[in-house]
Structure 1
Amino acid sequence: MKHHFTGWQGRSVTGFTLIELLVVIAIVGILATIAVSSYQDQVVKSRRAAAASCLQQGAQFMERYYTTNLSYVNAPRPDCDAEVRAHYAQPSFVGTPAAKTYSLQIVPSGAQAAKDTLCGTLSINQQGVRGEGGTATSADQCW
């Protein structure tokens, strides 16, 4: 609300009160906090989706290896691109691949590990069963 008052030289002066400016600053601050939080959540989800995609590519690699060798034994560990490696460790085997079974996992690191407590470590096995190591109630929330 603009207020009119007469200045010391008799001119009419308009402006905002300090209270009005403080209210506007508070509202902008609240909206900025909400926006930053939402943005950070989306970044975590985006990085998780990239890691899940890398893990699925690793599972596809394992199936191609099995088709060629009729066993998962001695299969090399799948690799991810640099973007995924910046936030997750390389995919690794859980245990040692056997003739007919394997399990792959990808573990978050750094800030991703601290911020992604919902899903944490993602895993997949030869049957395509997906898992997560966080607080999610279902692996479907993470994949």
Structure 2
Amino acid sequence: MMLAIKRAPRGARGFTLIELMIVVAIIGILAAIAFPSYQNHVTKTRRADAQAALTAFATAMERHYTENRNTYLGAAAGGANTGAPAIFPTEAPLEGATKYYDLTISAATRNSYTLLAAPKGAQAGDGSLRLLSNGVREWQKDGSTWVEWNN
């Protein structure tokens, strides 16, 4: 008993190798365009999280000011005036497992303070953020010049 093998009709044989390679090339080109754009968006989102954390940190500094006889002094760990904060988390974003910024008090006096968010890990190279007690918000975009950050 012989089995008959049926062949597909001439127009329904599938894709050629050339057609498949063209599709792969198109997908590669789209990925090459989309991935850097995605990475840029992720970096900006992480920076926005750090900006929000600095704003919340400033609120904690104001609370410290009112609770400590109108002074910003002693808000850092161990009652110091600079360094890691004792009154607020030391990393941003505040939620989630991976932290991309270290938060510190870079200067504190009786009547003023400067808060700093320094990038780390995957965010390194994005530039530091700082928030001054007078409301000035700055980003060190190029590593040397401070520019005002916009929300």
Instruction: Tell me the TM-score range normalised by the shorter chain.
Output: 0.7 to 0.9
**Pairwise CA RMSD of aligned residues?**
2.6
Name the one with the larger helix percent: 1
| CA gap 1:85/1:99 in 2 versus in 1, 3 angstroms | farther
Once residues 84 and 17 of structure 1 are traced to their aligned partners in structure 2, the CA distance between those partners, rounded to angstroms, is 47
Give the corresponding residue for 1:75: 75
Could you tell me whether the CA contact under 8 Å between 2:137 and 2:148 is conserved in 1? Answer: yes
Superposed CA deviations along residues 39-85 of structure 1, whole A, max 9, x for unmatched, are 22221111111111111101111112212221111123132435386
Gaps of 5+ in 1: 1-8
Gaps of 5+ in 2: 1-6, 77-84
Is 2:10 aligned against 1:12?
A: yes
- Structure 1 consecutive aligned stretches of length 4 or more whose deviation exceeds 6 Å: none
Could you tell me whether the CA contact under 8 Å between 1:72 and 1:98 is conserved in 2? Answer: yes
1:128-139 alignment to 2 at 5 Å?
A: 128-135=135-142, 138-139=147-148
Q: RCO (CA 8 Å, sep 6+): is it higher in 1 or 2?
A: 1
TM-score w.r.t. length of structure 2: 0.72
Tell me the matched-pair count: 128
Give identity over the alignment, percent.
38
SS in 2 for 1:94: strand
TM-score w.r.t. length of structure 1: 0.75
Superposed CA deviations along residues 8-39 of structure 1, whole A, max 9, x for unmatched, are x8x62544443332222111111122222222
Could you tell me whether the CA contact under 8 Å between 1:50 and 1:84 is conserved in 2? Answer: no
Instruction: Return the letter of the residue paired with 1:74.
Output: G
| CA gap 1:61/1:129 in 2 versus in 1, 3 angstroms | same
